[in-house]
Amino acid sequence: MNIAPQKPDPDGLQPVTPMMAQYLEIKAAHQGALLFYRMGDFYELFFEDAEIASKTLGIVLTKRGKHQGADIAMCGVPVVRADEYLQRLIAHGHRVAVCEQMEDPAEAKKRGGKSVVRRGVVRLVTPGTITEETLLEPTRSNLLLAVARLRVSDDEARYGLAFADISTGQFGLSECSPAGLAAEIARLDPSEVVIAEAVHEDEALAPLWREIRAAVTPVGRDVFDGGQAERRLADFFDVATIDGFGSFSRAETVAAAGLVTYILRTQVGRKPALDPPRRDGASSHMAIDAATRANLELLRTLGGERAGSLFDAIDRTVTAGGGRLLAQWLASPLIRPDAIAERQDAVAFFTERALLRGQMRARLRSAPDIARSMGRLALDRAGPRDLAALREGLGGIADLEALLQAQADLPPILAAIAAALARPDRGLAPRLAAALEDDLPLLKRDGGFIRAGYDAALDETRALRDESRRVIAALQARYAETSEVRQLKIKHNNMLGYFVEVPQQAGEAFLQPGLRETYVHRQTMAGAMRFSTSELSTLESRIASAAEQALAGELAIFGELAGALLADGAAIRTATEALALLDVIVALAVLAEEENYARPAVDGSLAFAIEGGRHPVVEQALKRDGKPFVANDCDLSGQEAGKAGAGKAAGRSAPDKSAAGKIWLLTGPNMAGKSTFLRQNALIAVLAQIGSFVPARQAHIGAVDALFSRVGAADDLARGRSTFMVEMVETAAILNQAGPRALVILDEIGRGTATFDGLSIAWAAIENLSAVNRCRALFATHYHELTQLSKKLPRLANATMRVTEWQGDVVFLHEVVPGAADRSYGIQVAKLAGMPAAVVERARAVLAQLEATDRQAPSARLIDDLPLFAAAPRAAAPAPATRPDVVAEALDALDPNDMTPRQALEALFSLKAKRDGARRA
């Protein structure tokens, strides 16, 4: 890019320097991204970019020159610390265009003193396209998601979803309806979502884009060009047709093409090593909407932390890939009993072999993150330590494969793992071990990572380089002796190259005849003077040449090793996936042994029988405090459990109309453990269907195809929703979507409004769950009147939290027993919370007065008089009058148009008198 110096400013206010002209041209091509403009050892930012970066990063904002009459804001970050600053910028939702120097400054000088170093953007860093180890969470996949909308008709659309993790090569596709879009995005939990501008601007979808945790990136319609979709995918994978990858819907294909197009644009043509796309449809997984995921805290707590989540409680993996895979399993529990049983068989294999389990763990624990090292290698962002990670990883894979092959009667999953671990080239690990030094630099440009003796030509070049260094030391000694200045040193910097430095006082002699012919003055410092010599300049050229040749030799060897690894990339990725799977299976076996979990029976029935169930997160928290967890049973098994569908694959299709699950209506005081009981049964279902053992003595679960939870309360102020409105929206979603194979947990429905309104809503919701949804459900409430419904709903059973009183205080036993609570013990709980004594006593007095009235009578009459789902009664017609209406007759006789104000007033008094007389009569 040759730019004439002093290019005129468009406004004519000030000439634009060649460097600034170059910056403005590059920035114009990357609007919406902060431009990291490389200048020597710094990435500089200018104008608004500098102001944003200064505020976000907390670095000093300076000024440099003027543009259009205004000062140019400027700040910079060191290149060596760029990853740290990139991480903070990405975390705040910014995108960064990295602009590098594409040539040596010396080459630019050859074109003229005013020439600008060629620069170009080498990558666009976005939340979904980062690969640097320091920017990624080890146990979380960094998914980039592309969403394509395909219109089926004027009123119907389908959404194709394509997601990839370019740091590991994962690439999957799915399709959903508009109603399922939010749940599918919540399941994938991407870091960035790419959508067409038209989809982004759709008002109906605006709330979704505001609510999701990911960064949302709208792009032009050309990215999702349906006419070019198949060709773009085929070109990306260098194949003639994509038919070999499988059969994908039109929406999935367009989404996949949009995804790879965006990746190529952000990587500026560099192609990550992605696996061929695989369908990962929602139909094969338990449906869990965003609200339920948040309420159950599967992967993170409501505060966004991992600590306290189900994932944190059960994670016993020791590799980064295993942690990511376990998180994926928790996000997408299976619904096919045969697939679940295969995982359980593998877990059971290791629970019975403690010695083998320990051997596996020891080898897995030392396994590096091979997948992400391979991802960086494909994008030419890898360093020597990535090669070392692959050296260690490939060696560990061989050891694990040997351990598995030595076992008899391997379950199918473990046999497949052993076969996958045997695929990588066995000669790569020894080759890497022979080539790489033990102590490695972070960056390959630093050199010094190839072991001496590996390459003869490199050894010769290094010898010349190192010999020159010894010559420098000898030259320094000679100069010190001939000048009689013992403090003389030969030093080096990028500006002067090699130079002689002496103290200020001694330097004066170097300016006098006799020495000045040898020493050329270059620089005077505070307390020191610097000189150069012709001999030193010649030696510098030799040293620079030898060092450059040595580094070039090392980089060439790095390229050869990288090429060998990438050539075997498919086998290495397959083995890496197997390694992660093995880690998860062994980890689940460790979990089962440590926490005394039992293997659940999972089939296609409507069973849900848990004996001695425990909350996996709460139990561990209590254990740390030395307290026991009170286990409880739960039986929501449907009427057709063990008949229809037993042993068959569960799916979205509903069983016959006679099949339906039970509903437990749970009453009891606050703090007695109702919410814990509700959540623990939902979490047991999730654990069972990822293939894990579960915290229970025994469990029989008919595969749950959808899980719904309405627990807790919070405002949604950003959308103008009160706590009660949020509650009603989530409850409506459940009642509109839950089918017979779903599991529903509802807590305190209707408590956010007036008592009778809330009671009515809760009443009708239970009837709907029983008659329409016909699902297995747990319904916790403080409306004791609802317990009367068990008289008319045969599948509704009452259960309560057992409590007792001691000396006026309530004691929570945390036991679930059949029956209904007679009261909520709210005043006792208020006392425990520290409510002032006067308030507590006054509350007791008011409660006594209220209980003096017959509070149970209304509900008893209601259950007798109100048929289930009866139509709303019409207003009764007025009964015929049994006597003349004298007021009406007098009113008919009046003509307001002929009356004066006084006559109207007298008529009003007359009408009132007649009405009073009629009442007395």
Residues 444 and 478 reside in one and the same domain? no
CB 682 within 8 A of CB 699: no
Question: What's the CATH code of the domain at 79?
Answer: 3.40.1170.10
In which band, very low, low, confident or very high, does the pLDDT at 840 lie, cut at 50, 70 and 90?
confident
Indicate if the pLDDT at residue 403 is higher than 50: yes
Indicate if the pLDDT at residue 7 is higher than 60: no
Choose one of 773, 796, 823: the last residue of a domain.
823
Residue 106's pLDDT is 75
Indicate if the pLDDT at residue 871 is higher than 50: no
Cα separation of 383 and 561, whole Å? 12
Q: Judge whether 893 is annotated as a binding position.
A: no
Indicate if the pLDDT at residue 580 is higher than 90: yes
Note whether residue 615 is domain-resident. yes
* Average pLDDT in the chain: 85
Cα separation of 98 and 34, whole Å? 8
**Phi, psi dihedrals of residue 149, rounded to the nearest 5°:** -105, 130
Structure pTM?
A: 0.81
**Phi, psi dihedrals of residue 511, rounded to the nearest 5°:** -90, -5
- Burial class of residue 666 in the structure, from the number of CB atoms within 10 Å of its CB (0-12 exposed, 13-18 middle, 19+ buried): buried
pLDDT digits over 36-49, tens only?
999 988 999 999 99
Question: What's the CATH code of the domain at 460?
Answer: 1.10.1420.10
Worst-scoring range by mean pLDDT, 308-312, 649-653, 725-729? 649-653
In eight-state DSSP terms, residue 705 is: S
Indicate if the pLDDT at residue 877 is higher than 50: no
Report the percentage of the chain scoring pLDDT > 90. 52
132, 425, 725 from 102: Cα distances, Å = 21, 36, 57
Cβ neighbors of 499 (< 8 A, separation 6 or more) are 490, 491, 492, 493, 522, 523, 530, 531, 532, 536
Nearest to 465 by CA among 355, 553, 333: 553
Note whether residue 403 is domain-resident. yes
Encoded tokens for 31: 């609007």
Residue 808's pLDDT is 61
Nearest to 565 by CA among 363, 325, 319, 393: 393
User: What's the average model confidence in pLDDT over 434-463?
Assistant: 90
Residues 340 and 223 reside in one and the same domain? no
Residue 103's pLDDT is 85
CB 649 within 8 A of CB 562: no
Residues 746 and 798 reside in one and the same domain? yes
Q: Judge whether 658 is annotated as a binding position.
A: no
**Phi, psi dihedrals of residue 326, rounded to the nearest 5°:** -60, -40
Residue 100's pLDDT is 92
Cβ neighbors of 759 (< 8 A, separation 6 or more) are 750, 783, 785, 786
Report the percentage of the chain scoring pLDDT > 70. 88
Task: Collapse the DSSP code of 708 into the 3-class scheme (helix H, G, I; strand E, B; otherwise coil) and give the result.
Answer: strand
| CA-CA-CA-CA torsion sign (599, 603, 605, 606) | positive
Encoded tokens for 636: 């929501």
Encoded tokens for 115: 């020439």
Encoded tokens for 321: 């890939």
Choose one of 801, 823, 845: the last residue of a domain.
823
Indicate if the pLDDT at residue 5 is higher than 50: no
Cα separation of 895 and 855, whole Å? 52
In which band, very low, low, confident or very high, does the pLDDT at 869 lie, cut at 50, 70 and 90?
very low
Worst-scoring range by mean pLDDT, 296-305, 549-558, 861-870? 861-870
Task: Fill in the amino acid letter for 401.
Answer: E
pLDDT digits over 196-241, tens only?
999 999 998 988 998 888 999 999 989 999 889 999 999 999 999 9
Indicate if the pLDDT at residue 68 is higher than 80: no
Residues 572 and 610 reside in one and the same domain? no
Indicate if the pLDDT at residue 908 is higher than 50: yes
Cα separation of 145 and 909, whole Å? 78
Indicate if the pLDDT at residue 799 is higher than 60: yes
CB 703 within 8 A of CB 741: yes
Cα separation of 867 and 882, whole Å? 33
Note whether residue 869 is domain-resident. no
CB 619 within 8 A of CB 713: no
In which band, very low, low, confident or very high, does the pLDDT at 722 lie, cut at 50, 70 and 90?
low
Residues 779 and 916 reside in one and the same domain? no
pLDDT digits over 645-668, tens only?
333 444 444 444 556 889 999 998
Worst-scoring range by mean pLDDT, 324-328, 524-528, 824-828? 824-828
How many CB atoms are closer than 10 A to CB 609?
19
Cα separation of 354 and 151, whole Å? 55
Encoded tokens for 151: 């219109």
Residues 671 and 751 reside in one and the same domain? yes
Residue 464's pLDDT is 76
Residue 460's pLDDT is 83
Residue 655's pLDDT is 44
Note whether residue 303 is domain-resident. no
CB 119 within 8 A of CB 102: yes
Q: Which domain holds residue 491?
A: 456-545
Q: Judge whether 670 is annotated as a binding position.
A: yes
Residues 35 and 97 reside in one and the same domain? yes
In which band, very low, low, confident or very high, does the pLDDT at 154 lie, cut at 50, 70 and 90?
confident
Please give the residue that has the higher pLDDT: either 515 or 167.
167
In which band, very low, low, confident or very high, does the pLDDT at 539 lie, cut at 50, 70 and 90?
confident
Note whether residue 11 is domain-resident. no
In eight-state DSSP terms, residue 878 is: P
Nearest to 580 by CA among 362, 349, 367: 367
Q: Judge whether 493 is annotated as a binding position.
A: no
Residue 917's pLDDT is 66
Indicate if the pLDDT at residue 712 is higher than 70: no
- What is the DSSP secondary-structure string of 561-599? HHHHHHHTHHHHHHHHHHHHHHHHHHHHHHHHHHHT-BP
CB 641 within 8 A of CB 604: no
Question: What's the CATH code of the domain at 235?
Answer: 3.30.420.110
Note whether residue 294 is domain-resident. no
Residues 605 and 584 reside in one and the same domain? no
In which band, very low, low, confident or very high, does the pLDDT at 115 lie, cut at 50, 70 and 90?
confident
Residues 472 and 393 reside in one and the same domain? no
Q: Judge whether 671 is annotated as a binding position.
A: yes
Residue 496's pLDDT is 83
SS3 helix, strand, coil % of the chain, rounded to 5? 45, 20, 35
Worst-scoring range by mean pLDDT, 51-55, 107-111, 432-436? 107-111
Note whether residue 373 is domain-resident. yes
Residues 471 and 413 reside in one and the same domain? no
Please give the residue that has the higher pLDDT: either 659 or 482.
482
Q: Judge whether 55 is annotated as a binding position.
A: no
Cα separation of 546 and 529, whole Å? 29
Cα separation of 242 and 232, whole Å? 10
Question: What's the CATH code of the domain at 691?
Answer: 3.40.50.300
Cα separation of 571 and 425, whole Å? 8
Indicate if the pLDDT at residue 10 is higher than 80: no
Cβ neighbors of 509 (< 8 A, separation 6 or more) are 483, 485, 515
Residues 252 and 401 reside in one and the same domain? no
Note whether residue 830 is domain-resident. no
User: What's the average model confidence in pLDDT over 537-562?
Assistant: 87
| CA-CA-CA-CA torsion sign (248, 252, 256, 261) | positive
Residues 207 and 277 reside in one and the same domain? yes
Q: Give the CA angle between residues 359, 360, 362 to the nearest 5°.
A: 65
Residue 371's pLDDT is 94
**Phi, psi dihedrals of residue 843, rounded to the nearest 5°:** -65, -40
75, 685, 845, 875, 884 from 43: Cα distances, Å = 9, 51, 72, 77, 97
- Secondary structure of 767-812 in HEC code, one letter for each residue: HHHHHHHCCEEEEECCCHHHHHHHHCCCCEEEEEEEEEEECCEEEE
Number of domains in the chain: 6
How many CB atoms are closer than 10 A to CB 491?
14
Cβ neighbors of 781 (< 8 A, separation 6 or more) are 665, 666, 667, 748, 749, 750, 762
H/E segment holding residue 608: strand 608-613
Choose one of 790, 808, 823: the last residue of a domain.
823
